[in-house]
Amino acid sequence: MAILFLIVFVDLVGFGLIIPLLPFYGEHFQASPLQVGLLMAVFSLTQFVAAPLWGRLSDRVGRKPVLAISLVGATLSYVWLAFASDLWMLFAARAVGGAMAGNIAAAFAYVADVTTPANRAKGMGIVGAAFGMGFIFGPAIGGILAGHDPMTADYTSPALVAAGLSALAAVLTLLLLPESLPTRIRREQAAMTRASRWRMLREALQRPGVGRLILIAFLSTFVFAGMETTFAMWSRRQFGWGPEQNGYLFAAVGLISAFVQGGLIGRLARRFGEPQLLVAGSALLAAGMLGIPLATSPAVLAPAMAVVALGFSLMTPSLNSLLSLRVEAGVQGGAMGVSRSASTLARVLGPGWAGLLFEFLGRDWPFYAGAAIMVGVVVLTVGTRVMSPGASRAARPD
């Protein structure tokens, strides 16, 4: 797990370098708010198509090869991004990057391979902490490299640094990471027909609670992705911020995420259970989204963003843990791929929807609408008992 943490962390530092800068990069090429939303969405669109394929491939050939190949592809996409000279090149580079984003599903499947049902939430939280740590250092480094003024920002250096970090993660994967999926299971998966695989996945989705978990994951990611897409444009108009200020703020969000998912989530899951954490996380995310447009100063904005980060950080590992506990070991990769597809579909639709609201209704509307959706998620999680803590752990055989 320590090696996987290091690999995911290095890769996500590079990913975090780019995300807060993309809205400014798009506006550098005269993109409208809607086009910025689509720029953020295109990565997730190609990831949506590719994620189940990467997940199934990892069930057949192992997690390590999929991690290595996808990291090499990410490296190439960042190089293209660094030398983009027109808006269409930004779209193309991000599309390639999304298609190569198989490392996410493979990383979560790797955790499912090496953990037991009792410590699954903790294992998912450790990988989530690597994501959070990546978003601590990545946005801050990217903001410093780009500069504080969006009119004169350097977008080439952050992209090249991101390429170097993904290349380093690929090397670490090849040299240090042991394979987690036993050969016996890989042979069984290779012998399956595609029809039987989809039949098994359909049966998994029909199990009590699984479809509801995926719906909750979709809605929360939809809202969070809309916030990520429009926040930089909102802060530029509200406070005159550029890449550097946004980088520092997103680094703070990553710090909260790392603290919650890396150290707190395991204890909270044991004490309260994952279903209760879903309720609390969705309520916090709703409150934070409502607080953002009401912020009239950075001092008011900071607590709202902290609440958003806390809510989403509570929800993500809890959802992943509950899902992994409901499917057989042999299809963990495929199930995680389906789950990631739901989340990436949300990241396709969320940014475009938020950009549309930003452009035609005003800069505050993506946040108001996101808060309303999360209120619906709170009702969904409170009104229906997703899964009891005891049942969730009894559902998976050792």
Structural domain contains residue 195: no
Per-residue pLDDT band for 398 (boundaries 50, 70, 90) equals very low
For residue 393, CA distances in Å to 269, 274, 380 come to 12, 11, 22
The number of beta carbons lying within 10 Å of the beta carbon of residue 199 is 12
Look at residue 195 in the predicted model and tell me its pLDDT. 45
Q: Of 54-58, 358-362, 380-384, where does the model show the most confidence?
A: 358-362
Cα–Cα distance for residue pair 220/110, rounded to 1 Å? 24
The pLDDT of residue 393: 45
pLDDT value at residue 311: 93
pLDDT for residue 163: 92
Say if 55 falls within a structural domain. Answer: yes
Q: Write down the pLDDT at residue 389.
A: 42
% of residues, the chain, pLDDT over 90 = 31
CA distances to 9, 238, 298 from 301, rounded to whole Å, are: 27, 11, 5
Predicted local confidence at residue 208, as pLDDT:
64
pLDDT score recorded for residue 328: 64
Predicted pLDDT at 308: 95
The rounded mean pLDDT for the chain is 81
Residue 352 lies in a domain: yes
pLDDT digits (tens, 9 = 90+) for 243-279: 888 888 988 888 888 788 767 887 888 888 777 888 8
CATH number at residue 8: 1.20.1250.20
Residue 189 in tokens? 């998966």
Q: Kindly state the tokens that stand for 87.
A: 């808006």
Residue 206 φ/ψ, nearest 5 degrees: -85, -5
Q: What is the pTM of this model?
A: 0.75
pLDDT of residue 327: 64
Per-residue confidence (pLDDT) for residue 395, from 0 to 100: 38
Query: Looking at the predicted structure, is the pLDDT value of residue 155 above 80?
Result: yes
Residue 88 reports pLDDT greater than 90: yes
pLDDT in tens, 324-375: 776 666 555 556 666 767 787 898 899 999 999 999 999 999 999 999 999 9
So what's the pLDDT on residue 121? 65
Structure tokens at 24: 């400014």
CA proximity to 154, closest of 162, 163, 146: 146
Residue 243: per-residue pLDDT? 87
Residue 128 lies in a domain: yes
Q: What's the total number of domains in the chain?
A: 1
Q: For residue 364, is it within any domain?
A: yes
395 vs 318, more confident = 318
Mean pLDDT of 316-330: 72
Neighbouring C-beta atoms of residue 207, cutoff 10 Å: 13
**Residue 183, domain member (yes or no):** no
Q: What is the pLDDT of residues 200-209, one digit of tens each?
A: 556 656 666 6
What is the secondary structure of 249-316 as a DSSP string? HHHHHHHHHHHIIIIIHHHHHHHH-HHHHHHHHHHHHHHHHHHHHH--SHHHHHHHHHHHHHHHHHHH
- Which candidate, 109, 101, 114, 113, places its Cα nearest to that of 56? 109
Residue at 275 is within a domain: yes
Per the structure, the complete domain to which residue 264 belongs is given by 2-178+200-394
Residue 191: inside a domain = no
